[in-house]
Amino acid sequence: MSAIDHLHLRNVKKKLYWRDVQHLTQTFKKMADFHAQIQDFMGKIEAKNSHEPEFLQAVREVAETVIPYTEENPKYKETNILERICEPERTIMFRVPWVNDKGQFIVNRGFRVEMNSAIGPYKGGLRFHPTVNLSVLKFLAFEQVFKNSLTTLPLGGGKGGSDFDPKGKSDHEVMRFCQSFMTELSRHIGGFTDIPAGDIGVGGREIGFLFGQYKKVKNEFAGILTGKGLEYGGSLIRPEATGYGTVYFANEVLEAHGDSLEGKLCAVSGSGNVAQFTIEKLLELGAKPVTVSDSGGFIYDKDGIDKEKLDYIMHLKNVERGRIHEYADKFKGAEFHKGATPWNAKVDLAFPCATQNELPKKDAETLVKNGCKGVFEGANMPTTADGYEVFKNNKTLFAPGKAANAGGVATSGLEMSQNAQRLSWTRDEVDYRLKMIMQSIHKNCEKFGRVDDSYVDYVRGANVAGFVKVADAMMAQGHV
């Protein structure tokens, strides 16, 4: 190389260096600016909702991804859409009086958070669990707005429930509670207003009692709930839909990254509706689920939970209403770990399907250390904020609940369509539509969440994609 070439090369390097420095400085400045704006925004939300930690957690996750987007799309900032989305359109709290089998007078608290109706009537589940409070239901209703927007269907967001604990109650007690709950709720819901469904502690039995009471009080047979029994307007595949949809979504993510579910060891938490049908679909697609849990602890079955064992779990949980430790008595070789969660198991993939904040930072670190390549949230917000940071920093594939578990509410939307048409689609038809919806959610998340050729930030993708549709509808409808 000549002396002139050397000189030229040095100048090019110098220029490149300065360009890099300038670029980095700009990037840091932008990040600091975003950070300041997020802090400022959260300050306002925290001031109004200071006793609602779950709600604030859900809002912060959205703010961290949506605020940078609104900076580049100022129309959303100018119309203050994000702050407007954080304020429920309406929150209803009510007394639920009922009498237990001993003749005692019990009172519980009932709620319905009607969060956002920009793109359709309020839609979202009812949760019956002793931990239910306004913070939990506001976080769930907030998540539901973005999730429902992703489904491609015209569904607004809501959530409700009660601090009633169905565990240990007789069928008659559950029926009397549901009747009292619906006597009040019936004033606030309707096929064009608000259509609740199930969630933790609310399955087919509870939906039946709630539907019966609505019909009695209102004297109308209407599609005001989803998750109904097949005999009275329910849809095939709705019970399966959340778990199936989560696995369809996982399949999309893995395929997009040149991988598949075949032969993968999977940790599943929970043993309720979502966990059961997650396991069923994992088996169908060739994966090997090895854990299942409830609030008493988890089962590790090194031989895998096969179809026969899953049938046992379904009978134990749905019919006998038993506890998961009984699995270890039935199937020798399976271990029960009392009071623990499944995240220490050495697995390829994790499917948290129980409840919020069940996967904290230390467990995320253990999963990563053990070689876990993907986390797919069947539950709502099961991963803590710092747990998610661990996955993000390690480029673990991570599908947030509002995308991965949207198949449940999407199929509720399909149940509403069938009710409106007064007909029932076949199992194959509903399953096909569910699969198509999960594929479309995946594409939409990729569109807004792609970081580089090898990594998609599905959290950013889901939040921004969900936000854009709701925000555009809100802007079109004026400041209402």
Of the candidates 123, 159, 288, 309, the residue annotated as catalytic is 159
User: CB of 472: closest distance to ligand NDP in angstroms?
Assistant: 25
User: CB of 227: closest distance to ligand 2IT in angstroms?
Assistant: 6
Q: Exposed/middle/buried for 299, CB within 10 Å: 0-12, 13-18, 19+?
A: buried
d(CA 326, CA 336): 9
Cβ-contact 98, 108 below 8 angstroms: yes
Residue nearest to ligand 2IT (CB): 125
Q: Does 125 bind ligand 2IT (CB under 6 A)?
A: yes
48-107 positions binding ligand 2IT, by CB under 6 A: none
d(CA 96, CA 172): 16
Cβ-contact 72, 121 below 8 angstroms: no
Half-sphere exposure of 53 (CA within 13 A, CB side): 5
DSSP string, 308-374: HHHHHHHIIIIIS---TTHHHHHSTTEEEEET--GGGS--SEEE--S-TT-B-HHHHHHHHHTT--E
How are beta strands 397-399 and 374-376 bridged, if at all? parallel
Residue nearest to ligand NDP (CB): 272
Of 95-103, 315-323, 404-412, 431-439, the segment contacting ligand 2IT by CB under 6 A is: 404-412
Beta carbon nearer to ligand NDP, 242 or 384: 242
Q: Does 407 bind ligand 2IT (CB under 6 A)?
A: no
Cβ-contact 441, 256 below 8 angstroms: no
Residue 353 binding target from ligand NDP, ligand 2IT, none, CB below 5 to 8 Å by type: ligand NDP
Tell me whether residue 29 is one of the annotated catalytic residues.
Answer: no
219-238 positions binding ligand 2IT, by CB under 6 A: 226
User: CB of 203: closest distance to ligand NDP in angstroms?
Assistant: 6
Tokens of 459: 């959290």
Q: Which residues of the chain form contacts with ligand NDP (CB under 6 A)?
A: 198-201, 203, 242, 270-275, 294-296, 353-355, 378-380, 405, 408
Torsion of CA 200, 201, 204, 208, to 10 degrees: -120
d(CA 448, CA 67): 13
User: CB of 399: closest distance to ligand NDP in angstroms?
Assistant: 13
342-401 positions binding ligand 2IT, by CB under 6 A: 380
Rounded to a whole number of angstroms, the distance between the first and last alpha carbons of the chain is 70
Task: Report how far apart, in Å, the C-alpha atoms of 230 and of each of 264, 275, 326 are.
Answer: 34, 22, 30
d(CA 206, CA 394): 42
Instruction: Write the interaction track for ligand 2IT spanning residues 173-212; mark x where CB under 6 A is met and - where it is not.
Output: ------------------------x-x-------------
User: CB of 301: closest distance to ligand 2IT in angstroms?
Assistant: 27
Q: Does 276 bind ligand 2IT (CB under 6 A)?
A: no
- Out of 123, 176, 288, 460, name the contact with ligand 2IT by CB under 6 A: 123
Of 106-114, 182-190, 246-254, 408-416, the segment contacting ligand 2IT by CB under 6 A is: 408-416
Task: Tell me, by CB under 6 A, how many residues bind ligand 2IT.
Answer: 12
Which residues are tagged catalytic?
Answer: 159
What is the binding site for ligand 2IT (CB under 6 A)?
123-125, 144, 147, 197, 199, 226, 380, 408-409, 412
